[in-house]
Amino acid sequence: MLATFLAEDGAFGDITTQPLGLEEKARGRVVAKEGGRASGMRGATQVFSLLDRSVQAGGLGEGDAFQCGDTVLEVIALAPALLSGERVAMNLLGRACGIATRTAQWVEEMNDPSVELLDTRKTAPGLRWLDKDAVLAGGGVNHRNDLGEMVLLKENHHRLVGGITAAVWAIREVHPGVDIEVEVETVEELIEALDLEIKRVMLDDWDEENLAEGIRLAQEKGVYVELSGGVQRASLRRWAALGPDGISSGALTSSAPPIDLSFQIEPFSSTS
């Protein structure tokens, strides 16, 4: 996948770098131009390693905080590898740090370690591994990684097969014993789902007047309660105070602004 990204950028046929005849190693430093949380160093390093297998890297760990001017990642490799791989590596690193930073900000705003801040599948195609790792780095929790990991019956599933009960039993006939989460939009749907002895329930787009009652009904039966739909940073603390087990938001990965980073390359000497 990373090789595909490099090919898209023309890194294997870099007509700017190749004619320069550079053969020595160089040192590349990724310097933060604003504060944030670190993530994506593994992916960025792998980009350079596809261009130079002798690459050496060090820097911050996943989830480490940094300030403007701090070095996030340092890479030693052949100069052409650093020059040709720079844009792909920096795009990945900036995106990952942005997601980790937003997640950390939202966790801090929620200020309740008993409630999980969950991501969703609203990730960039091909970059789910990067986005999900970044959520973890920021202190969030990964929901299911893909459609094969956990059953989540949503409104469209219910509608197409004739309701929540029909959908749950259809799943159990093919996958007996699998954990099932059901999205519900009303108290009546919640009661129907709870009678089916499911493991998790998603209260999607509920008004706050009904949320407390929905959470109580589900948790009385030992069912994990996830709140979803229109989640904003400003409302996190208020929602968490209602006592759910988790709050999910696609905004963690789908709209986090990338962190502004600079890549500075200089000649490298083993004695320097």
> Which run of H or of E encompasses 106?
helix 79-110
Q: What are the structure tokens assigned to 170, written together? A: 């259809």
* Angstrom distance (rounded) from CA 129 to CA 62: 14
* Angstrom distance (rounded) from CA 201 to CA 246: 10
Which residues, including other chains, have CB under 8 Å from residue 201's CB and lie 6 or more apart?
A: 181, 182, 183, 184, 190, 193, 194, 218, 223, 224, 225, 226
Q: Which domains does the chain have, with CATH numbers?
A: 2-107+257-267 (3.90.1170.20), 111-254 (3.20.20.70)
pLDDT number for residue 271: 54
pLDDT exceeds 70 at position 272: no
> Which run of H or of E encompasses 156?
helix 155-161
Q: Which residues pair with 30 in a beta bridge?
A: 73, 263
* 181 three-state secondary structure: strand
pLDDT number for residue 230: 82
Strands 116-118 and 261-267: unpaired
> Which run of H or of E encompasses 190?
helix 187-194
Question: What angle do the packed helices 187-194 and 164-174 form, to 10 degrees?
Answer: 30
pLDDT number for residue 82: 96
- Separation in Å, CA 81 to CA 39, 47, 53, 101, 230: 21, 9, 10, 28, 43
* Angstrom distance (rounded) from CA 245 to CA 163: 25
Q: How large is the average pLDDT for residues 46-69?
A: 96
Q: How large is the average pLDDT for residues 56-64?
A: 96
* Angstrom distance (rounded) from CA 255 to CA 224: 27
pLDDT exceeds 80 at position 270: no
8 Å CB contact between 115 and 245: yes
Which of 225, 265, 264, 263 shows the shortest CA–CA distance to 242? 225
Which residues, including other chains, have CB under 8 Å from residue 40's CB and lie 6 or more apart?
A: 92, 93, 94, 95, 96, 97, 100, 130, 133, 134
What pLDDT digit, counting tens, does each position of 3-54 carry?
999 999 899 998 999 998 888 999 999 999 999 999 999 999 999 999 999 9
What pLDDT digit, counting tens, does each position of 221-240 carry?
999 999 998 888 988 999 99
pLDDT exceeds 90 at position 120: yes
What is the pLDDT confidence band of residue 146, given thresholds at 50, 70 and 90? very high
Q: What are the structure tokens assigned to 72, written together? A: 């996030």
What is the pLDDT confidence band of residue 207, given thresholds at 50, 70 and 90? confident
| Residue 108 region by backbone torsions, left for phi larger than 0, else alpha for psi between -120 and 50, else beta | alpha
* Angstrom distance (rounded) from CA 206 to CA 199: 20
Burial of 212 per CB tally in 10 Å (0-12, 13-18, 19+): middle
